[in-house]
Structure 1
Amino acid sequence: MSRWHSYINSAVSILTGYSGKEPFAAYLKKYFAANKKYGSKDRKQIAHLAYCYFRAGLALPDIAMEEKLLMALFLCSRQPDPLLSSLRPEWDEKYLLDVKEKLLLLGLEKNPNRFFPWIQQLSKGIDLEAFSTSFLVQPDLFIRIRPGYPGMVKEKLQSARVAYEELSSSCFRFPSGTKLDDLLEANREIVIQDYNSQRVGELLRLIPQNGEHKKMTVWDCCAASGGKSIMANDIVGKMELTVSDIRESILHNLGKRLSAAGISHFRSIVADLSVKDPLPAGEKFDLVIADTPCSGSGTWSRTPEQLYYFREEKITAYQQLQERIVATVLPHVKKGGYFLYITCSVFKKENEDRVDFITADPGYSIVSKELLTGYDKKADTMFACLLRRDL
């Protein structure tokens, strides 16, 4: 048996044992730790096969898994592949075909949107075909350069001869897999942050500043890893920050990250906002940021196993969760204050419908609402809406 067949058999074994209940990267790490016969090149090729399967799997016919893997690899290939060259040379020589032509060659042309079957649920303004086929491509890596560091970061990158694309003075793009850990100081100099996560900052810049001596009060209510808190600090400037999350371990790591970013004064609260309001009724903020739990469907190109295992009924479950969280935090926005609602979802029920829920309260008006498409930029797709409390 050739090593190429061995790779396919290993990928089949891995996929058969995987249930989708944990991140595939974590599952792979444990699998390879328990099966030490694989070298680094072997692990890379087998993992690539499996990820290609998740990217294309929903569009593939009900045939043998080995054949599905080859089809998926062909659909995802943008350059000659040695495995395809050996086992399907007639496909490998046509790697430059666009997705439509590849689907036609494989006899799968009838429904190109099958890579993403929930098209009726999408937010308005998404290009169905471009979005659907974007799952075949691994997104790029993006960094946000923090104030005061653009020159230093650029000098370090150029000295190390690291390839990058400068999208703005603070946003750089790198090929996926680029290693920056030993070159740049995460959180102090840069933040690893997707292109459209950075664009959410454009909405923060619409908020009038409180003045030179008055700090803005900010509650990042679903803080997670803290990227939005650091960005708010860099844009808003002086602020009194409160962060909350349902997971104490996340807040512990967040505290370390904020400290590394030079943000030493903040309040941290463990809270399940879908169940209970952790704050006194009269406590109000100039700005509440709600980067709510969601399907994550705008980021599935990075974690395609979530695309493969997703079930449509989860949309309603997330919608209801978001509704409860929003209902808890809205009363804590000051009159004249702002509420920033964010998801990394492409589903209308999690995006526009939630804004409709908020504006059903006549006290809130929309300042800016943006569907931040990333499928045409090798980036994530996000939704953000800035609202003002008028009453």
Structure 2
Amino acid sequence: MSRFHSYMNTAEQLIKNYKGDVPLAIFMRSFFSANKKFGSKDRKQISALCYNYFRIGSAANGVPPQEKILMAFFLCENESSDLLEALMPEWNQQINQSLQIKFQLLGSKFILSDLFPFAGRLSETIDAEKFSISFLVQPDLFLRIRPKTRLGFLKKLEKSKLEYTIKDDDCVVLTNSTNVEEYFTIDKEVIIQDYNSQKVFDFFKPQNATYETPLTTIWDCCAASGGKSILLFDIFNQRIDLTVSDIRPSIILNLHQRFNKAGLKSYKYFIADIEKTGFEHPVEPSSIIVCDVPCTGSGTWARTPEQLAFFKEDSIKDFSDRQKKITTNVIPYLKPGGTFVYITCSVFKEENEEVVRFILSKFDLELLRMELLKGYDKKADSMFIAVFRKK
């Protein structure tokens, strides 16, 4: 048996055994740790076959598993491959063609609309076809340059000889496989943060401010890893009175360590289930509440395409219900004239526009901005943001 058939058989077995209970990256790492016979080149090839398989979602479900694996490899790769040359040479000859031509070559075996079968539930401004196509492309890696580190960082960047582009002055775009920790001090010099995550607070930047509101006391109520808190810390030139909270003690512990690296020393924190009925905020009301709620994460699935295969459509309503409970519990702790920022990394309208309508119906808030930050045309994540002011 050729090594290429071995790669295909291994990939098919991995896909069959994977149940979606852990991230695919962890599952595959565990497999390779237990199977030392695979060298780095073998691991790279098998991993690509598995990831590409999940990238085409529910499309081509009617074809045999190994044919679907090869089909996915053909669609997602754009450089000639020894594996494809050995197993499907006619596809290898067309590997650098556009996706539209590849779709035509595959004919009825591959229907793009089957890839993402939840198009009817997308937010109102999303182009379903473009969003589906984005799954076939590996997203980029984005860094945000911290204030006061720009010159030193750029010198390091030039010295690194990495291929990069710079967007919007402080956003660096690298290939996804770049080991940035080898070159830069993460959280001190730069933050690993998706492009649209960097854009969610642009309206707080002085040049974009169109309204007056006190910008001092901030509660990041679903803080997670703290990336957005650090962004606010930088935008407001470190002059913020910050409170962070999360339901998970381990997350708060990691957040402490990250804040220390980022130079964010003075802040309050607490651990609480803000979704729970009867929740009481232990800190004074805030001028700004950031509510980056738990969600389906569907705007990030191009980074974790395995979620396409294991997603349960019923969970959209479950998340929407949770989001309504959370916003109901936290908005009362917003000061008069304060700003409430609702964020998801979801592309589903039930988690986005419908929650906005719920908030407006329940609270005396003015909607200042509502936008789906599209990432599918930037090799980035898609995010939803709505900004309210308390009357």
TM-score by length of 1: 0.95
Is the partner of 1:301 in helix, strand or coil?
coil
Aligned to 1:308: 309
Are 2:338 and 1:337 equivalent residues in the alignment?
A: yes
Structure 1 residue 182: deviation in Å?
2.4
| TM-fit CA distance, 1:149 | 1.2
Deviation at 1:201, TM superposition (A): 2.1
Gaps of 5+ in 1: none
Paired with 1:344 and 1:378, the residues of 2 have a C-alpha distance of 15
Secondary structure in structure 1 of the residue aligned to 2:103:
helix
- Which has the higher mean CA deviation after the structures are superposed, 255-264 or 357-366? 357-366
Which residue of 2 is the match for residue 39 of structure 1?
39
Distance 1:120 1:277 in 2: 35
Q: Distance in 1 between matches of 2:365 and 2:382?
A: 25
- Corresponding residue for 1:143? 143
Alignment check: 8 A CA contact 1:20 1:306 kept: yes
> Which residue number in structure 2 is paired with residue 24 of structure 1?
24
Report the RMSD for the aligned CA atoms in angstroms: 1.6
Against the structure 1 CA distance between its residues 182 and 111, is the aligned structure 2 distance closer, same or farther, given a 3 Å change threshold?
Answer: closer
Residues 226 and 41 (structure 1), Cα distance of their counterparts in 2 relative to 1, 3 Å cut? same
Q: CA deviation at 1:272?
A: 1.2
> After superposition, what is the alpha-carbon deviation per residue over 1:121-160, rounded to whole angstroms, capped at 9, x for unaligned?
0011111211111101110000010111111111101012
Give 1:131-280 correspondences, 5 Å limit: 131-205=131-205, 206=209, 208=212, 210=214, 216-237=216-237, 238-276=239-277, 278-280=279-281
- Cα offset, 1:337, TM superposition: 0.4
Check whether the contact 1:209–1:236 (CA below 8 A) recurs between aligned residues.
no
Counterpart residue identity of residue 283, structure 1: E
Tell me, in whole angstroms, the C-alpha distance in 2 between the residues paired with 1:16 and 1:362: 48
Aligned 8 A contact 2:279 2:329 in 1: no
Whole-angstrom distance in 1 between the partners of 2:67 and 2:283: 62
Could you tell me which residue of structure 2 aligns to residue 76 of structure 1?
76
CA distance in 2, matches of 1:379, 1:130: 13
User: In structure 2, what is the Cα distance between the partners aligned to 1:114 and 1:73?
Assistant: 17
1:203, 1:368 within 8 Å by CA — same for their partners in 2?
Answer: no
Question: CA contact under 8 A between 2:368 and 2:387: conserved in structure 1?
Answer: yes
Letter of the structure 1 residue corresponding to residue 152 of structure 2: M
The aligned counterpart of 1:123 is 123
Confirm or deny that 1:325 pairs with 2:326: yes
Q: Aligned pair in 2 of structure 1 residues 280, 289: CA closer, same or farther (>3 Å)? A: closer
Q: Which amino acid aligns with 1:244?
A: S
SS in 2 for 1:136: coil
SS at match of 1:181: helix
Supply the distance in 2 between the matched residues of 1:273 and 1:280 (Cα, whole angstroms).
9
Paired positions, count: 386
Q: Matched residues in 2 for 1:147 and 1:199: separation?
A: 15
Query: How many angstroms does 1:63 deviate by?
Result: 2.6
Unaligned runs of 5+ in 2: none
* Cα distance change on mapping 1:282 and 1:153 into 2, 3 Å: closer
Query: Is the aligned partner of 1:87 residue 2:87?
Result: yes
Question: Partners in 2 of 1:131 and 1:10 — Cα distance?
Answer: 30
Separation in 2, partners of 1:162, 1:277: 52
Aligned AA (1:311) = K
Structure 2 letter corresponding to 1:284? P
8 Å contact kept, 1:367–1:388: yes
CA contact (8 A) 1:188 1:262 kept: yes
Residue 8 (1) aligns with residue 26 (2): no
- Which amino acid in the other structure matches residue 335 of structure 2? K
Aligned AA (2:388): L
Which residue number corresponds to residue 99 of structure 1? Answer: 99
Amino acid at match of 1:243: V
Question: In 2, distance between residues paired with 1:268 and 1:57?
Answer: 40
TM-score by length of 2: 0.95
223-232 or 53-62, which moves further after superposition?
A: 53-62
Instruction: Give the whole-Å Cα distance in 1 for the aligned partners of 2:289 and 2:63.
Output: 50
1:91-145 Cα distance to aligned partner (Å, 9 max, x none): 1111133223222322237742211111100011111211111101110000010
Matched, 1:293 2:297: no
Name the SS for the 1:340 alignment partner: strand
1:344-383 → structure 2 map (5 Å cutoff): 344-383=345-384
- Aligned-partner Cα distance in 2 for 1:300–1:367: 28
Shift of 1:208: 4.0
Q: Deviations over 1:188-236 (max 9, x none)?
A: 11100000001102133346464xxxx7111100000000000011112
**Whole-Å Cα distance in 2 between the matches of residues 309 and 367 of structure 1?**
36
Counterpart Cα distance in 2 of 1:261 and 1:110: 47
For the 8 Å contact 1:55–1:308, the answer to whether it is kept is no
Identical pairs, percent: 44
Judge which range, 196-205 or 378-387, deviates more. 196-205
Deviates further, 55-64 or 247-256? 55-64
Deviation at 1:168, TM superposition (A): 2.0
Q: Contact 1:277–1:329 at 8 Å: present in 2 too?
A: no
Conservation of the 8 A alpha-carbon contact between 1:345 and 1:381: yes
CA contact 2:281–2:333 (8 Å) conserved in 1 = no
Cα distance in 2 for partners of 1:25, 1:67 equals: 23
Look up the equivalent residue of 2:100 and give its one-letter code.
K
Aligned partner letter, 1:79: E
